[in-house]
Amino acid sequence: MNKIKLTKYIKIIILLIVISLSHQVCLTKAETKTINNNLNKTLDLHAMAIKIEEIIHNDLYKTKDTYNGILTGYAADCPLCGGTLGCTGQNVLKDRITTYNDHTYGEVRIVASSKSLPCNSIIQFDLPSISDKKITAIVLDRGVTGTSLDLLVESEDIAYTQVGRKQITYDILRFGK
């Protein structure tokens, strides 16, 4: 009888050892799976970040409104110009600039418009004689009427030869305040 009891105890102990070992193996697999899940989540977050950047970019360049008007060019030293931007008071003649670094759109060209388009509005238009890409510009000056625009350029020569006077369609990407 003692021999049977001893055999039962040994079987129970072996069974407990097997269960214990299998439980440790399961824990190890669970830990490995958790690490892999975190890696997959990191990869998914990276993909999501790229998608969010794409959505933001598409929203930034989404047209809010479209206008038709006459585009002309002007230089800060033109005969009727004082060199001071009507929206900011910055002297572009003294500073020799034709671009502005916008906090959202980066480096953009400067245009003059009528008061119907608020200062700091962002517009976009095609002008193949200046760039093969769309030109993104900010309204920082005044001095034109209606829906016309004046593009600030480096010299009167560029204003006459490369910009001239053109009928254009331009998109409003952001209305200023």
Mean pLDDT in order along the chain per 10 residues (177 residues): 70 76 58 52 68 73 92 86 88 89 95 94 94 95 93 92 95 92
Q: Full-prediction pTM beyond 0.75?
A: no
Which CATH number describes the domain made up of 65-174? 2.40.40.10
Q: Are 167 and 68 in contact (CB under 8 A)?
A: yes
Structure token digits, residue 59? 């929203």
Structure-block tokens of residue 5: 């009891």
Q: Cα–Cα distance between 36 and 51 in angstroms, integer?
A: 23
In terms of DSSP H, where are the helices of 61-177? 92-95, 156-158
The 10s digit of each residue's pLDDT in 143-155 is 899 999 999 999 9
Closest CA to 139 of 90, 61, 72, 86: 86
Q: What is the CA radius of gyration of the chain?
A: 34
Antiparallel, parallel or unpaired: β 122-125 and 165-174 = antiparallel
Looking at residue 29, what is its pLDDT?
52
Q: What is the pLDDT of residues 32-49, one digit of tens each?
A: 545 555 555 555 777 777
What pLDDT is recorded for position 107? 96
